[in-house]
Amino acid sequence: MGAGRTSKSEKATMVKPMDSQQEYVLRAVEERDIRIVRLWFSDILGTLKSVAIAPAELESAFAEGIGFDGSAIEGFSRISESDTIAMPDPSTFQLLPLGVGDGGIKSARMFCDILNPDGQAFYSDPRQVLRRQVQTAADEGFTCKVSPEIEFYLVEDQETDGRPPKPTDDGSYFDQANRSLAPYFRRDAMLALEDMGIPVEFSHHETAPGQQEIDLRHADILTMGDSIMTFRYITKLIAHRNNVAATFMPKPFTDYAGSAMHTHMSLFEGDINAFHDPDAEFSLSRTGQQFIAGILTHANEISAVTNQWTNSYKRILFGSEAPTAATWGVSNRSAMVRVPTYRLGKAESRRVEVRSPDSACNPYLALAVLLAAGLRGIRDGYELNEPAEDDIAALTRRERRALGYVDLPASLDQALREMEKSDFVADILGEHVFEFFLRNKWREWHDYQKQITPWELQNNLSF
């Protein structure tokens, strides 16, 4: 059987009655004259994948899915197991903003769950990895809400032949962009995201020339994984429309701060924020403390997932306010996990901010390991140490050790060594994702090691 095809008997096992969400999508496509529907999913590294279908094929896609060659997708399956099904999730249906891609033609997108031909969840689908942790949290009585602060750079061009890019402006923190090549970029990006039902909380210039930050309003963790994927796609398109480029590379400049994805997380039991306790110090409940302890305890094991590139560790080692040790603090932006003190008496605002992930992670996998680590801390009753009050980045390694702080991995090499001995991470990701991720990243690290850099030539060629 060729790639992209399923037999009649296999299709019959997957056909299911049309539900109300699917009916709504079909009706919306017809009433709004949508000409293209894009079905999206992610490979293991977080690259957005897409297949476009005509509206006439949508009903069949809901009933049977879209068959494709899974062996052609990074990390999905072997050639002998290549038949794979993309099943659209109608709850993710959104119109793409006019003028953003597709040449002005009305189009929409839906995320897909990836399935085996028998209709079972596909083991290599990052969205399914996160969905499993959502179910684990639900089984323990929790729903998780997330709000990320996504940093990135606007540069004049990404085609630099290996030379440093040029930022689009010389602004600094909270500057109004009045000398920018893309003065209306953040406005256009915010409006496009809002048009897609992705609420934006804040938008501002960050600390470095060309660096931007857009913060998304909190949503359930699976929806947020979809929103982050959409955010990166829309941001790049809006930048292109402004004749510049957006990069989520963790640290594209030697002398400027890296780009983080500070991730605010909270757990709810029904409508009650499980992290809030008005009688506790900092209004942080024992559940919240244990959640933080879980993330800190497993920080080194999950680092390769939250910071997946060789370049990620340039940000951690040499980036402004980037965490270098598995610590927590109250309003301390040098700690890995920060407890904000805004609105301490407001129950729904009690949250923790994880500052280690960067903007180039696979959001499904990164959110999955963070949630799983926090849940492990609650389930096993982890104890939280005293908060860090120092500027962690200003301490020497000896001083950090004397204070009992555990350093985070300083390279992808160290992070992979921690990950590959972790049964915890293997269980979260599943055997196939775990093994492929390690193989792919070890190859990246070895390719990186082989490079002879300009710094080496400048400093060693005369010997």
Residue extents of the structural domains in the chain: 8-117, 133-459
Calculate mean pLDDT across residues 109-119.
90
The reported pLDDT for the residue numbered 121 is: 84
Kindly report, residue by residue over 222-278, the tens digit of the pLDDT: 999 999 999 999 999 999 988 999 999 999 999 999 999 999 999 999 999 999 999
pLDDT, greater one: 337 or 85: 337
Beta-sheet pairing, 328-330 with 337-339: parallel
Tell me the C-alpha to C-alpha distance, in Å, between residue 385 and each of 101, 291, 382, 391, 394.
49, 12, 10, 17, 20
Two domains, one topology: 8-117 and 133-459: no
133-459: CATH number: 3.30.590.10
- The answer, yes or no, to whether residue 340 has pLDDT greater than 60, is yes
Average pLDDT, the chain: 89
pLDDT for res 62: 95
pTM of the model: 0.92
Q: Please tell me the predicted confidence (pLDDT) of residue 343.
A: 72
Q: What is the pLDDT of residue 5?
A: 41
CA distance 87 to 16: 12
Tell me what the mean pLDDT of segment 107-133 comes to.
Answer: 91
Tell me the pLDDT band of 19, cut-offs 50, 70 and 90.
confident
DSSP for 111-154 reads EEEEE-TTSPBPTT-HHHHHHHHHHHHHHTT-EEEEEEEEEEEE
Question: pLDDT band at 73, cuts 50/70/90?
Answer: low
**Among 96-110, 257-271, 307-321, 328-342, whose mean pLDDT is lowest?**
96-110
Residue type, 311: N
> Cβ(303)–Cβ(380) under 8 Å?
no
Whether the per-residue pLDDT at 413 is higher than 80: the answer is: yes
Q: What is the pLDDT of residue 7?
A: 43
pLDDT of the residue at 81: 46
8-117: CATH architecture: Roll (3.10)
User: Between 345 and 225, whose confidence is greater?
Assistant: 225
pLDDT number for residue 159: 85
Residue 209: pLDDT over 70: yes
Phi, psi of 148 (to 5 degrees): -95, 150
